[in-house]
Structure 1
Amino acid sequence: MSKLAHFIGTCGGVGHLRPAPGTWGSALAYPILFLCHVLFGVGTPYILIALICLLVGAGLWAADRMRRDGWGEDPSEVVIDEVAGQLIALLPISFGAANNGVSLLALWPGLIAAFVLFRLFDIWKPGPVGWADRKHGAIGLMADDLIAGVMAAIGVIILAGIAHGALGL
């Protein structure tokens, strides 16, 4: 087996943490988010978009390689998809913090909502998430979490609109 594919797919071994390796993978997105905000400030959301694209490409390669090496169609140890999906769910918070000059910690309800919504959609697999999860190969492995991330990001935006009265509710 390619050690590099294993290292990338498991995000340096995070995918071997038990219980719930997907939850550990999702949690890994948070230090990445905070580190990017410290290093890049207001440009962070755009850095995160580039990082997500990099993670998707690397994840597709690693998942395909691990599948060919006998790890199966969707091994629980592969968590790079959770990291990418969780970062998508966190994008609205990153944009909000960067555009308004506030600390990420000031947006803590959004940070919690992004995690809960992403994990909910990733586990429950409603609609398009379930459709993508039924696809075979690396694309299916990655796509369900990316779609769950988009759905969670939309949920975060809606909840923020309600919390801030922007939706008139």
Structure 2
Amino acid sequence: MRPAGIVATFLGVGLLRPAPGTWGSAAAIPVAYFLHLNGGFPALAVGTLIAFICGLGATALYTEGLEDPDPSRVVIDEVVGMWIALWPLSFGLWHAGLPTDIFPYPGWIGGFLMFRLFDIWKPWPVSWADRLHTPLGVMLDDVIAGLMAAVVVSAAAFVSHTYLMG
């Protein structure tokens, strides 16, 4: 496999069946944890930016000449979106000065579920980006779904920590 294919499929994870987008999203979580563990939120944020830039280029090269501008095996976009969905969790832990080895499961499970919901359901503006049918659209719809999931994760954490945990 060429380098663009390795990046676009996230080391071949996008070739798994069924539901390669779900596999890509799930594979993104331990890598996000590794980044968080080794540098907190700044590492995850920089990693997300690098993955977006590399993913955009790899998607452009990988899909060049294909009829489908967004083949299901391209999952680097899901990785980027999933990492954005985990930003509130990573930022909150980092900002509070908590040890980097903490990555509580309610946060990443909620992020995963909300990201997959928005990525599959494609409410506006996710659907707008999806209809671009360009490499930028491929990446951008998942960025937006990740941002929407991050808002839900943040709201859930606020409610949990303010009202449920006292």
Deviates more, 1:123-132 or 1:92-101: 92-101
Aligned residue type for 1:138: P
Label 1:71 to 1:104 Cα distance change in 2 as closer, same or farther (>3 A): farther
Q: 1:99: Cα distance to partner?
A: 2.4
Deviates more, 1:157-166 or 1:128-137: 157-166
Quote the residue 1:96 is aligned against.
Answer: 92
Q: Unaligned 5+ residue runs, structure 2?
A: none
Per-residue Cα deviation, 1:80-101 (whole angstroms, up to 9, x for no partner): 0000000000010001222231
What is the distance in 1 between the residues matched to 2:8 and 2:140?
14
What is the distance in 1 between the residues matched to 2:133 and 2:36?
35
Asked if 1 retains the 8 angstrom alpha-carbon contact of 2:36 and 2:44, the reply is no
**Quick one: which of 117, 129, 132 aligns to 2:129?**
132
**Quick one: which of 146, 150, 154 aligns to 1:149?**
146
What is the distance in 2 between the residues matched to 1:29 and 1:98?
19
Quote the residue 1:19 is aligned against.
Answer: 18
Label 1:71 to 1:26 Cα distance change in 2 as closer, same or farther (>3 A): farther
Quote the residue 2:3 is aligned against.
Answer: 4
The SS at the match of 1:19 is coil
Quote the residue 1:112 is aligned against.
Answer: 109
Quote the residue 1:31 is aligned against.
Answer: 30
Q: 1:24: Cα distance to partner?
A: 0.7
Per-residue Cα deviation, 1:21-50 (whole angstroms, up to 9, x for no partner): 00111011111122123322xxx2111111
Per-residue Cα deviation, 1:34-73 (whole angstroms, up to 9, x for no partner): 2123322xxx211111111111111111111122142621
Q: Superposition RMSD on alpha carbons, in Å?
A: 1.7
> Number of paired residues?
162
Quote the residue 1:62 is aligned against.
Answer: 58
Aligned residue type for 1:51: G
Deviates more, 1:48-57 or 1:116-125: 48-57
Per-residue Cα deviation, 1:103-162 (whole angstroms, up to 9, x for no partner): 534x32111110000000000001100111001210110000000000000000001111
The SS at the match of 1:72 is coil
What is the distance in 1 between the residues matched to 2:64 and 2:30?
31
Quote the residue 1:158 is aligned against.
Answer: 155
Deviates more, 1:85-94 or 1:107-116: 107-116
What is the distance in 2 between the residues matched to 1:87 and 1:12?
16
What is the distance in 2 between the residues matched to 1:119 and 1:139?
19
Asked if 1 retains the 8 angstrom alpha-carbon contact of 2:24 and 2:78, the reply is yes
Quote the residue 2:71 is aligned against.
Answer: 75
Quote the residue 1:50 is aligned against.
Answer: 46
Percent of aligned pairs sharing the same letter = 45
Matched, 1:123 2:120: yes
What is the distance in 1 between the residues matched to 2:46 and 2:118?
23
